[in-house]
Amino acid sequence: MIPQSHFLILSAVIFSIGIFGVLTRRNVIGILMSIELILNAANINLITFNKFLGTPDGLGQVFALFVIAIAAASAVVGLALVIAVYRNSKSILINKINLMKW
Amino acid sequence: MSGLMQLLSSHGIPQILIIKGAFYSIAALVCLFAILVVASPNIFHSAIYLAAVLIGVACVYLFLDAEFLAVVQVLIYVGAILTLLIFAIMLTADIRSKTPRQTLRRILISAFAALAALYAFINIIHKNPWRSAVTPPATAFSLAQLGKSLMLNYILPFEIISLVVLAALVGAIAIAKTERR
């Protein structure tokens, strides 16, 4: 079947693309999307190791479920913050948001 | 899926080749759409490409014997988080307008950082002798086992995560609501 390293390489590629997105995007929502990519890469890794190491209680899959829940919570809070900031400063570009700078 | 596989097998194509072909084409599509997510100038198009990436990752989960997680991925990510993202985009940005072009200097530096990280990861992955190369993978982990371990071994983290999600929901409503004067 497909070797373990190929799943890991796929995960590394998605992770790097997510890092690139976090660094280059100016839109806060774009940064949130890139963070979702990074979390997905982590999930692929967890499930890969769960399959190939064969843990008896499925720790990898349980942790992947927790990661999905945390991702949902972070997206909800992040988007609420985006909407609150947009209402104040009429912009969601990160170089325009200097509300907490002195 | 299995019917298609039988049809292809009856024409002399071995099953392992079908699985491999499916995996590598899905992986290539996922990488392509992930690049489009971070490179597309229009943020709304990025959200649509992100949906494609998430569905592709759900298919990758199927190759790893994680059927439940594949379904959860489609339900939570594509059903809930992506809808939320699209709502936020429509509430905050004029989607017809082009987002400002990014400066070349930051793109070069960021691409260098991302490629350096990728090089380090692939180096580590290639140096390590993975177990799959020597021994066959363990038996598949079933959905019933997942439910049991979630309700017996990991009950405390499970309850804590539900509290975290509840706190996030309440916090999001408190942050985003308009103040009445």
Cα distance between residue B49 and residue B131, in whole Å? 34
A91 dihedral zone (left: phi>0; alpha: psi -120 to 50; beta): beta
CA count, 13 A, side-chain hemisphere, A66: 19
Q: Which two tokens stand for residue B63?
A: 């190759």
Q: What residues in B contact A96, CB-CB < 8 Å?
A: none
**Nearest residue of A to residue B22, measured between CA atoms:** A2
Residue A8 near residue A31 (C-beta atoms within 8 A) = no
Percent of chain B exceeding pLDDT 70 equals: 78
Question: How far away is chain B from the Cα of A99, in angstroms, using its nearest Cα?
Answer: 16
**Nearest residue of A to residue B51, measured between CA atoms:** A33
pLDDT in tens, B81-122: 999 999 888 888 665 555 555 555 678 888 899 999 999 999
* The pLDDT of residue B134: 46
| Cβ within 8 Å, pair A73-B168 | yes
Q: What residues in B contact A49, CB-CB < 8 Å?
A: none
pTM of this structure: 0.86
User: Which residue in the set A19, A24, A84 is minimally distant from B107, CB to CB?
Assistant: A24
pLDDT in tens, chain A (102 residues): 788 889 999 999 999 999 999 988 888 888 999 999 999 999 999 999 888 887 777 888 899 999 999 999 999 999 998 888 888 877 777 777 777 776
Q: Is the pLDDT of residue B133 over 50?
A: no
When pLDDT is averaged across residues B32-40 and rounded to a whole number, the result is 91
| pLDDT tier at B140, thresholds 50, 70, 90 | low
3-state DSSP percent of chain B in helix, strand and coil, to 5: 75, 0, 25
Question: How far away is chain B from the Cα of A96, in angstroms, using its nearest Cα?
Answer: 12
